[in-house]
Structure 1
Amino acid sequence: MTQPEVRCINVLLVEDDPGDVLMTREAFEDYLHNRLDVVTDGAAGMAYLRKEPPYTDVPRPDLILLDLNLPRRDGRQVLQEIKDDPDLRHIPVVVLTTSQAEEDVLRSYQLHANAYVTKPVDFEGFIEAIKQIDHFFVSVVQLPSGGQA
Structure 2
Amino acid sequence: MKPILLVEDNPHDVELTLIALEKAKLHNDVVVVRDGDEALDYLFMRNGFADRAEGKPALIMLDIKLNKMSGLRVLETLRKDGALRSIPVVMLTGSKEPSDLNQAYALGVNPYVVKPVMFKDFVSAVSDIGLFWAILNEPPPGSSRAVRSSPLSKREQ
Aligned position for 2:17: 24
Give the Å deviation of 1:70.
0.3
For 1:126, the aligned partner's letter is: F
Give the alignment's TM-score, normalised by structure 2. Answer: 0.83
Aligned position for 1:77: 73
Unaligned 5+ runs, structure 1: 1-7
In 2: Cα distance, 1:107 partner to 1:123 partner: 27
Check conservation: 1:61, 1:146, Cα contact below 8 A: no
1:57-136 alignment to 2 at 5 Å?
57-58=52-53, 59-136=55-132
User: What is the SS of the residue equivalent to 2:42?
Assistant: helix
Unaligned 5+ runs, structure 2: 147-157
Aligned position for 2:144: 145
Aligned residues: 140
For 2:31, the aligned partner's letter is: D
In 2: Cα distance, 1:138 partner to 1:31 partner: 11
Q: 1:129 to 1:9 in 2, by over 3 A?
A: farther
Give the alignment's TM-score, normalised by structure 1. Answer: 0.87
For 1:32, the aligned partner's letter is: K
Aligned position for 1:44: 38
Give the Å deviation of 1:146.
5.7
In 1: Cα distance, 2:16 partner to 2:103 partner: 26
In 2: Cα distance, 1:130 partner to 1:32 partner: 12
User: What is the SS of the residue equivalent to 2:66?
Assistant: coil
Aligned position for 2:3: 10
Identity percentage of aligned residues:
37
C-alpha RMSD of the superposition: 1.6
The CA deviation string for residues 61-85 of structure 1, in whole angstroms up to 9 with x for no partner, is 0100000000011111101000011
The CA deviation string for residues 28-69 of structure 1, in whole angstroms up to 9 with x for no partner, is 233322211100000000000001121131442010000000
Aligned position for 1:55: 49
| Residues 51-60 or 74-83, more deviating | 51-60
The CA deviation string for residues 3-38 of structure 1, in whole angstroms up to 9 with x for no partner, is xxxxx5421000001100001111223332221110
Check conservation: 2:59, 2:134, Cα contact below 8 A: no
Aligned position for 1:3: none
